[in-house]
Homo-oligomer: A and B are copies of this chain.
Amino acid sequence: MGDRLCFTSDYTRGAHPNIIKRLAETNLDQTSGYGTDEISASAKNRIRKACGCERAEVEFLIGGTQTNAVVIDSLLRIYQGVIAAETGHISVHEAGAIEFGGHKVLTLPHHDGKISADDVDRYLTDYYRDESHEHMVMPGMVYLSQPTEYGTLYSKEELQAFRNVCDRYSINLYVDGARLAYALACPENDVTLQDLAQLCDVFYIGGTKCGALFGEAVVVPNPDKIPHFFTIIKQHGALLAKGRLLGIQFDELFRDDLYVHIGEPAIKAAAAIKKALAEKGYRLCFNSPTNQTFCIMEDSALEILGRKAEYGFWEKHDADHTVIRFATDWATSEEETAALIGIL
């Protein structure tokens, strides 16, 4: 991407050096396929330990959309749909992968990318009160992302409230952790991996955006929730032949608590960028405490900025303003951040 600074997304680089090193070292070893190897077993154990959940089934998939489709198709019966924020990744940016599996995404209005347990409660109450609800899609689960697509976070208390409403209606709670490392590294966050394992029916720990080349670790605290998960993964074309490649990546990410800290440089960089933007009088949006920073810029200013730095287009704000995004990642250096601030 030439010599411009690059803050377009958190998947522009490869992987944490430990991963590359291990891939090279083990390259010519021969192992069994499909994740039945010993490295994958080790990685799964580390994740179970980090989640405080010895019984959990852990499966490694390749990317986020794939993971969402596989998990949702696994948890729902054919007549059920999934409740999500209208801004949820499954609602907007998965090219209909959920509908391809036969399920409707039942959307709720968002607040800075979030929905509330009360919103869900009201939706479910209305649904069951409607005389014709048997002609409608039955809500079978709630989908949240942590952090959300707008960089915001659910608190432990909020997640507990979702758990309660889900229990009341006997539906499942699923958390998409594509950027989970950036939540875990964030001072505002009070939700740990153990909390997720306690509160969710299923969640996934994102690798692709958090230090891996690719890969997401699905955690099912109570494996009875998804019988024959392996076969569903295969059916969805989501089973990696050389499964150890995923094992290696998560074995490294969960060695010595690496995953819990890997997002810290991103959070520091984002905080510095936010501070600089505010000082320079730009309007920030969505109040994101994680690695994504959104702000409103005049289109004329953007043109100048664009010559020196790449950023993400988010949406038009009005006729001559645009909301843009700066994304930092686990490898964003202090030099890059300083350089960006210098040109804002």
A residues adjacent to B (C-beta < 8 A): 1, 6, 8-9, 11-15, 17, 20, 23-24, 26-33, 62-70, 73-74, 77-79, 81, 92-97, 99-100, 102-105, 131-132, 134-138, 208-209, 213-214, 227-228, 230-232, 234-242, 245, 313, 331
Contacts and interface: CB of A to CB of B under 8 A. Distances in A.
B20 A24 contact: yes
Contacts of A234: 65, 94-95, 97, 134-135
Contact of A235 (B32, B70, B96): B96
B208 A100 contact: no
Contact of A78 (B30, B73, B132): B73
B79 A208 contact: no
A66 B237 contact: yes
Given A1-B30, A100-B102, A241 B11 contact: yes
The interface residues of chain A, by DSSP majority, are classed as: loop
Nearest to A28: B13
A129 to B, nearest CB: 8
Contact of A27 (B20, B28, B92, B232): B20
Contacts of A11: 33, 241-242
Contacts of A67: 237
Given A79-B228, A95-B136, A96-B102, 11 more contacts: A1-B32, A6-B30, A13-B27, A15-B27, A28-B331, A62-B62, A65-B234, A78-B235, A97-B236, A135-B231, A208-B242
A232 B138 CA distance: 10
B66 A95 contact: no
A26 to B, nearest CB: 7
A233 to B, nearest CB: 8
B237 A65 contact: yes
Contacts of A96: 79, 81, 102-104, 137, 235
A33 B9 contact: yes
11 contacts: A6-B30, A11-B33, A24-B24, A65-B237, A77-B228, A79-B95, A81-B99, A95-B135, A96-B103, A96-B235, A134-B228
Contacts of A238: 66, 237
A131 B237 CA distance: 19
Nearest to A1: B30
A33 B310 CA distance: 13
Contacts of A68: 237
Contacts of A241: 11, 63-64, 208-209, 214
A214 to B, nearest CB: 6
A62 B236 CA distance: 12
A64 B67 CA distance: 18
B236 A138 contact: no
Contacts of A99: 81, 99, 102-104, 137
A231 B95 contact: yes
B104 A136 contact: no
Contacts of A9: 33
A139 to B, nearest CB: 11
B240 A63 contact: yes
